[in-house]
Amino acid sequence: MEIVPLADAEQVARLAADVVEGLVRARRGSAVLGLATGSTPLPTYRELIRRHRAGSGPSYDGVRCFTLDEYVGLPAGHPESYRATIARELTDPLGIPADRVHGPSPDPDQLATAGERYEEALRAAGGVDVQILGIGTDGHLAFNEPGSSLASLTRLKTLTEETRRDNARFFGSVAEVPRHVLTQGLGTILRARHLLLLATGAAKAAALAAAVEGPLSASCPASVLQLHPHVTVLADGSAAAGLARRDHYREVYAAKPAWQGL
Ligand code: F6R
């Protein structure tokens, strides 16, 4: 795992955008991007859009996207559904057509098979090349709350009260935050070829430290990252504040050979 402590959220966004663009250029139209929603990736998405509009970004023709999760129980087209959110915040501005952006389907009549069908869609696409991730204050990854199986696949889950309170800012109140979600499992996420975890702000410091320096445990779902061979963690100063070895991570990054990349 490579942990990169950075000065601020803007640096996190620039470096994350470099990783995404590098992949899109390298795969020339066949890249499969794994997208997170929530607040943390928004500066990265804005940076990608800025570069795209400035003409310095790559072509997104042929790029396919898979979101991590989706609320269950919102009316179709609800602005806070993750399908609507990712279209608004990233894929529409980049010109990626809706039929190349996939998410678990919250259709109430087919919920029992939604997980299996999403796993099949991911397999058929050849898997995710770069998966952007955020981390919950309770250590959740996607919507795998504490106690989730480290081998889990896409399925229906129930949000904790802590996560519903955290996400109430996107809705009118906690009561309006759905209880149920469909989420890629931790085992699903581990299949992506490169995991890019973004963490910004002091509220993430304890969860990030537990995930990368604590024991591997279902009590901290993000600790599953320790099992993956290619993880990059981009953290701003506040989120990195709880890391016992942060000086070492800084030294490693400063001494990194340029040919290595992230
Ligand atoms: C979103 C997701 C969640 C968020 C996490 C952090 O698709 O899967 O795991 O990444 O809840 O959310 P923010 O970034 O809003 O703090």
In a domain? residue 262? no
- pLDDT over 90 at 8, yes or no: yes
- Cα–Cα distances (Å) from 193 to 31, 34, 196, in that order, read 11, 10, 10
Residue 128 resides in a domain: yes
Q: Domain of 118: which CATH number? A: 3.40.50.1360
Q: Whose CA is nearest to atom 2 of ligand 1?
A: 142
Supply the residues annotated as catalytic: 69, 138, 140, 145
Coil, strand or helix at 195: strand
What does the pLDDT read at residue 256? 95
In this predicted structure, what is the pLDDT of residue 29? 87
Tell me the CA distances in angstroms from 89 to 1, 42, 79, 93, 256, one per residue in order: 28, 7, 11, 7, 33
What average pLDDT does the structure give for the chain? 97
Q: Could you read off the pLDDT of 136-194 as tens digits, one per residue?
A: 999 999 999 999 999 999 999 999 999 999 999 999 999 999 999 999 999 999 999 99
pLDDT of residue 147: 97
Residue tagged 């500066």 (tokens): 43
Read off the amino acid at residue 229. P
Query: Is 41 part of any domain?
Result: yes
Number of compact structural domains in the chain: 1
Substitution site in 131, 135, 188, 198 for ligand 1 pocket (most atoms within 8 Å of beta carbon): 135
Domain assignment present for 261: no
75: pLDDT strictly greater than 90? yes
**Strands of the 180-183 sheet, one edge to the other:** 69-71, 180-183, 155-158
Domain enclosing residue 251, as ranges: 2-256
Ligand 1 atom 10: the closest Cα is on which residue? 134
Give the per-residue pLDDT at 115.
98
Q: What is the pLDDT of residue 71?
A: 97
CB of 43 sitting under 6 A from ligand 1: no
User: What percent of the chain lies above the pLDDT cut of 90?
Assistant: 98
